[in-house]
Structure 1
Amino acid sequence: MSMQPREPVEVPVETVRVARAAFPKGSLAIRVRDELGVLFADEQFVGLFPVRGKPAWSPGRLAMVLVLQFVEGLTDRQAAEAVRARIDWKFALGLELADPGFDFSVLSEFRDRLVGGDAGRAVLDAILVAAKDRGLLASGGKARTDSTHVLSSARELNWLELVGETLRAALNVVAHAEPDWLSARALPDWFRHYATRIEDSRFPKAHTKRVEVGRRIGADGMSLLRMVWADDAPPALRELPEVGILRQVWVQHFHLVEGEVARRDPKDRPPGAKRLVTPYDIEARGSVKRDTMWDGYKVHLTETCEPDAVHLVTEVTTTVATVPDDRMAAVVHTGLARRGLLPDEHWVDAGYTNSSALAASRIDHGVDLHGPLVPVTVAQARGEGTYGQDAFTIDWDNQHVTCPNGITSTQWHHRRSEEQLPVIRVRFSPADCRACPSLRDCVNSPKAQRREITLRPRHEYEALHQARQLQATDEWKDRYKIRAGVEGTISQGVQACGLRRSRYRGLGKTSLQHQLTGAAINLIRINAWLSDQPRARTRTSPLTALRPAA
């Protein structure tokens, strides 16, 4: 398929006449076209198509179809049918009433092109640009961010299902690629154990027997790997993705003990960021957040939150499930800066805030990052303690620290923390500390003979100290209530657009789904704003309404 860019055209006269008659009060699709104009031009996607071949259906229109599909939660078949049959969609796309549309498979192919060209962000960007031109969006002001978990499209597997299904998938592709070669070498039990899906099998309940099943699967998988890597095996088998996945899973979960295949101990397995959880979505990872455990991904949504303006999603970032939130503030700010939509104040929850994030937000982007700081749990480090870290006087220029009793530190070293972050290790002389009557109140360990302090770099330390002082005020606590509204955005994404579960496999396609979800939420909100629909109030249960005022 090739693309021959076409200039956006006016909506055909007959389409306008019928749409106005059928929708005298308008609809979302009609209102978006009337107020925002043509959102997507073919030129935006010219790099996704070759220069030769059969002309493709307009990619600008296909992008609009994808967004409308997420607005209404339609399947590909339903979206293609809407293009053929619905007058309001024809109006939004600028089509003649008799236009036959396209086959539903075109949408899947177009999504693949968007993922391959990393063009999903362009869809959200185009809507934000149109909102800017309409006066609905501006830089500065306030924004808020939160994340939520996203389940993989593949079914969650327990350990026996994971290794069994990985082996079954590898056997199937090898059987398809080299049936004669595998038939001559396959063990008789393989046809009984792996001919059907592992979930259709009944694993024994007794722990010892389940261990035996796991050992048997491990031995069978190791046998297949030895066969594939034997000198007489067809070399092409080693290049099959499913065989590579089998090898990776077996390295992560099995090893040889005195020549026998055994399961690795938990401490001998790779960390969750590298460990596969299903052979059918190799980029999904398992993670835990408080009481929630899931296999899949995580999405971060950022929206504007000015009280007298429409709240629009300005940044959508998707990661694997194991990426912690405290690494994402800089990523979100970089995306907002690219769009020219950096806020003055950015409100987040405790997961995003630490000393480095607070300092980097201000220094790199000029953004005030606001979020609750994790409380200090070490007694000697609490600011309110007599010998807490805040009770010590820090001379950054001369690189020494003075304790409340007037003793000056003797060592100041720049080091790296366990997380490989820059820190400063400050130590006092044992001779000075042993003679101090307050030694036991100042140190943690009963055997410690001197006080040691770990400091962040100066700019991070000062940013953290200032934030703690600010967050102790009632004014800040009252202002922080603005962050709670982003929970409603996540709820809208989950209920209206299926945000909670990925429709597709892989990080790239899941990220595209979330970009389209952000675009769909924006169109829904712009339509509500233009049609003067009031925002829904926060629901209050009857029991909560009876609570006496404090």
Structure 2
Amino acid sequence: MFRKNTRHWQIPLTSHVDELPEPLRRRLENSWAGTFYREFFSRLDEGPFAVLYSDLISRPNVPVNVLVGLEFLKAANGWTDEEMYDHFCYDVQVRYALGYRQLSEGCFDLRTLYYFRERLAQHAQETGENLLERAFEQVTGEQLRAFSIKSGKQRMDSTLLASNIRQMGRIQLLVTVLQRVWRMLSEADQQRYAQRFERYTKGHPGQYIYRLKKEEWPEHLQRIGEDMRTLLQELQAAYGEQPTYAVLARVFAEHFRLEKEKLQVKEASELSARSLQSPDDLEATYREKHGKSSRGYVVNLTETCDPDNPLQLVTKIQVAPNVTDDSALLAEALPDLKERTGLEELYTDGAYGSAENDKRLAEQEVTLIQSAIRGRKRKEERLYLDDFTLPGDTHNGALNLTCPHAQQAPVRGAKQGKSYRATFDAQVCGNCPLQPRCPVQPRKNGEAVLLFTEEDLRRAQRRRRMRQADSGERNLRSATEASIRSLKHPFPAGKLPVRGRFRAACLLIGSAAVMTVRRIHRYLQSQIAGNRPGEQAKRMTKRLAEQAEHVFFFGRTLLQAFGLYRRINSPVLTW
């Protein structure tokens, strides 16, 4: 039975926290634990999690905000489950962050957290909703309002993270799948197929490949394919609904093909990056970036970046297979960011732009400012469409295109309706010193024409915005690299301790939530430091000194104007 946790609002008359000496108690309240309690734990709405529990009258649930808080603290600190549970039981700061003042309060078994994760995963599988992501966005929305954070300007960046799977070669992967199929079979079927599986079940899959020479690999791949083909045909009736059978069918289709009923082994170059990397993680994919390979996921982070903000907050975390393009992540996040945060300007690198995203950004009235643009590098000796003064939209009546030599030309749709046509005066173009570099083409009928598509126009507008943005605006994106570093810090070597997209998303959302709390804590600490009497006295002394210097300068200027400064500026009369 679901019940909201409101007990933490009622502070007990006496507690173990009160037994601490006054300096230590104040230190505890002003530590990260106090900030986590006030800025995350107390803001978390437990209502959406009620769907995970029974409506029947029964024993109340362990507080949801405690379970969510523990999950997020585990993710942000890189704890194992045992370490997390020990911190909960014996760490005063962790217990204070979760609303407990007594060491005897809130005891529950670690398995309760496992059941909670299982319910979260089942709910996500049935509805497509990640309740931890919903909680993160709800708390972030309250934090944005509480600290008056402007969210019109935001930045976005992505990074790769590896899943917690073994790196296996091709033959080792196929043998691993066959061993899983063997364990799926009933005792009667194991006896029936004992001879066929004998060579695959003698030891670890890695030991199978160790006994082979490289020139023997093609022969063994062919034999494995033939065995898989036979098993798929003979086991379908009895095991066709089993997940292991589905994995067998998938790897067979990815590594082999039938040509006129003859089995052919696919070349390594024919294997897709989306092919199965491990039977323990069906969603992990393969990708190479900057010369390094990764088997896992891509995480995309969005955060505020307005220079007027006292601090910047993370607004969205996305996790997808690592072959997902950055432009697809932007397209997925854009409507939600616009609705929740009122996004107006988005700062990214060159990977997020695309023709499809140009249309989506225009519909959502969001300006994309990139630090680079995909495509061929510009040649300095040539002029491009973005060197022209561009119209804002080709659908708003008569528009003019202005060339670098200040000649204007009307823009009209071409006859086929797939491109646009700007017609310049050919005589003016013939006398233009920029004509050899210009993309405007002279025609035999005496016209000078420039043809471009809607995609060309959008790309040119992005290039023009990138060039026109001053260095300060472009640098708004660069700080997101530090946020990515903080997000990945709990996971050594960029490898997650979990498998599966859902668990990876839960872990990274938790890391982002605590990262935001730490930023808030640093900001509040700086405010406290700035309001100390000693700091105030220093600022007042500095202000008085600056005022005295201004008065001296003003007085000296007046005396110089009257010719009196030299007369009184002596060792005896000094200011």
Question: Within 5 Å, which residues of 2 pair with 1:251-270?
Answer: 251-257=253-259, 259-265=261-267
Q: Name the structure 1 match of 2:311.
A: 310
Q: Distance in 2 between matches of 1:484 and 1:386?
A: 29
Relative distance call for 1:276 and 1:182 in structure 2 (3 A) is: same
The letter for the 2-side match of 1:120 is L
The answer on whether the counterparts of 2:304 and 2:315 sit within 8 Å (CA) in structure 1 is yes
Percent of aligned pairs sharing the same letter: 20
Q: Name the structure 2 match of 1:31.
A: 35
* Stretches of structure 2 lacking an aligned partner (at least 5 in a row): 125-129, 424-434, 441-447, 529-575
Indicate which of 72, 77, 83 corresponds to 1:72.
77
Q: Name the structure 2 match of 1:413.
A: 416
The answer on whether the counterparts of 1:413 and 1:426 sit within 8 Å (CA) in structure 2 is no
Q: Name the structure 2 match of 1:385.
A: 382
Q: Name the structure 1 match of 2:466.
A: 471
Relative distance call for 1:14 and 1:454 in structure 2 (3 A) is: farther
Q: Distance in 1 between matches of 2:221 and 2:305?
A: 52
Range moving further from structure 2, 292-301 or 204-213: 204-213
Q: TM-score, normalised by structure 2?
A: 0.74
Relative distance call for 1:372 and 1:132 in structure 2 (3 A) is: closer
Correspondence 1:182 to 2:190: yes
Range moving further from structure 2, 487-496 or 12-21: 12-21
The answer on whether the counterparts of 1:313 and 1:522 sit within 8 Å (CA) in structure 2 is yes
Secondary structure, counterpart of 2:198 in structure 1: helix
The letter for the 2-side match of 1:49 is Y
Correspondence 1:49 to 2:53: yes
The answer on whether the counterparts of 1:203 and 1:210 sit within 8 Å (CA) in structure 2 is no
The letter for the 1-side match of 2:257 is H
Range moving further from structure 2, 257-266 or 241-250: 257-266
The structural deviation recorded for 1:311 is 1.9
The structural deviation recorded for 1:20 is 6.7
The letter for the 2-side match of 1:252 is E
Relative distance call for 1:309 and 1:239 in structure 2 (3 A) is: same
Correspondence 1:105 to 2:111: yes
The answer on whether the counterparts of 2:350 and 2:374 sit within 8 Å (CA) in structure 1 is no
Secondary structure, counterpart of 1:295 in structure 2: strand
The answer on whether the counterparts of 2:157 and 2:300 sit within 8 Å (CA) in structure 1 is yes
1:444-466: CA deviation from partner (whole Å, max 9, x where unpaired): xxxxxxx9998443xx5544333
Q: Name the structure 1 match of 2:218.
A: 211
Q: Name the structure 2 match of 1:159.
A: 170
Q: Name the structure 2 match of 1:220.
A: 227
Q: Distance in 1 between matches of 2:261 and 2:49?
A: 56
Relative distance call for 1:483 and 1:185 in structure 2 (3 A) is: same
Question: Within 5 Å, which residues of 2 pair with 1:474-489?
Answer: 476-489=470-483
The answer on whether the counterparts of 1:287 and 1:294 sit within 8 Å (CA) in structure 2 is yes
Q: Name the structure 1 match of 2:251.
A: 249
Q: Distance in 2 between matches of 1:252 and 1:375?
A: 31
Relative distance call for 1:29 and 1:384 in structure 2 (3 A) is: same
Correspondence 1:194 to 2:201: yes
Q: Distance in 2 between matches of 1:41 and 1:401?
A: 53
The structural deviation recorded for 1:305 is 2.4
The answer on whether the counterparts of 1:316 and 1:514 sit within 8 Å (CA) in structure 2 is yes
Secondary structure, counterpart of 2:251 in structure 1: helix
1:353-405: CA deviation from partner (whole Å, max 9, x where unpaired): 234434532431x32211034265399xx79636979789999779999999x
The letter for the 1-side match of 2:276 is L
Range moving further from structure 2, 209-218 or 69-78: 69-78
The letter for the 1-side match of 2:37 is R
The answer on whether the counterparts of 2:151 and 2:304 sit within 8 Å (CA) in structure 1 is no
The answer on whether the counterparts of 2:41 and 2:98 sit within 8 Å (CA) in structure 1 is no
Q: Name the structure 2 match of 1:88.
A: 93
Q: Name the structure 1 match of 2:552.
A: none
Correspondence 1:3 to 2:8: no
Q: Name the structure 1 match of 2:143.
A: 131
The structural deviation recorded for 1:14 is 0.6
Relative distance call for 1:327 and 1:180 in structure 2 (3 A) is: same
Q: Name the structure 2 match of 1:434.
A: none
Range moving further from structure 2, 345-354 or 22-31: 22-31
1:426-481: CA deviation from partner (whole Å, max 9, x where unpaired): 899xxxxxxxxx99x989xxxxxxx9998443xx55443333223334x5244212
What CA RMSD, in Å, does the superposition of the two structures yield over aligned residues?
3.9
1:24-52: CA deviation from partner (whole Å, max 9, x where unpaired): 42221123325666132432311121223
Secondary structure, counterpart of 2:277 in structure 1: coil
Question: Within 5 Å, which residues of 2 pair with 1:355-394?
Answer: 355-364=355-364, 366-374=365-373, 376-377=375-376, 385=382
1:147-179: CA deviation from partner (whole Å, max 9, x where unpaired): 0011112122221122121222122222xxx11
Correspondence 1:40 to 2:24: no
Secondary structure, counterpart of 1:25 in structure 2: helix
Q: Distance in 1 between matches of 2:270 and 2:76?
A: 46
Question: Within 5 Å, which residues of 2 pair with 1:431-510?
Answer: 455-457=452-454, 461-473=456-468, 476-496=470-490, 500-510=494-504
Q: Distance in 2 between matches of 1:453 and 1:167?
A: 61
Which of these two proteins has the greater Rg computed from alpha carbons?
2
The answer on whether the counterparts of 2:154 and 2:346 sit within 8 Å (CA) in structure 1 is yes
Correspondence 1:148 to 2:159: yes
Q: Distance in 2 between matches of 1:323 and 1:343?
A: 23
The structural deviation recorded for 1:83 is 1.8
Q: Name the structure 1 match of 2:281.
A: 281
* Stretches of structure 1 lacking an aligned partner (at least 5 in a row): 416-423, 429-437, 444-450, 535-550
Relative distance call for 1:142 and 1:20 in structure 2 (3 A) is: farther
Secondary structure, counterpart of 2:120 in structure 1: helix
Q: Distance in 2 between matches of 1:337 and 1:454?
A: 34
Relative distance call for 1:348 and 1:56 in structure 2 (3 A) is: same
Q: Distance in 1 between matches of 2:493 and 2:33?
A: 21
The letter for the 2-side match of 1:75 is T
Secondary structure, counterpart of 2:135 in structure 1: helix
Relative distance call for 1:461 and 1:200 in structure 2 (3 A) is: same
Q: Distance in 2 between matches of 1:20 and 1:454?
A: 78
The answer on whether the counterparts of 1:401 and 1:426 sit within 8 Å (CA) in structure 2 is no
Q: Distance in 2 between matches of 1:144 and 1:254?
A: 43
The letter for the 2-side match of 1:262 is Q
Q: Distance in 1 between matches of 2:261 and 2:41?
A: 69
The answer on whether the counterparts of 1:303 and 1:314 sit within 8 Å (CA) in structure 2 is yes
The letter for the 1-side match of 2:107 is G
Q: Name the structure 1 match of 2:296.
A: 296
Secondary structure, counterpart of 2:199 in structure 1: helix
Figure out how many residues of one structure are paired with residues of the other and give that number: 490
Q: Distance in 2 between matches of 1:183 and 1:298?
A: 44
The structural deviation recorded for 1:521 is 0.9
Secondary structure, counterpart of 1:374 in structure 2: coil
The answer on whether the counterparts of 2:353 and 2:374 sit within 8 Å (CA) in structure 1 is no
The answer on whether the counterparts of 2:150 and 2:304 sit within 8 Å (CA) in structure 1 is no
1:252-290: CA deviation from partner (whole Å, max 9, x where unpaired): 211235655331246765x434x2222211111112333
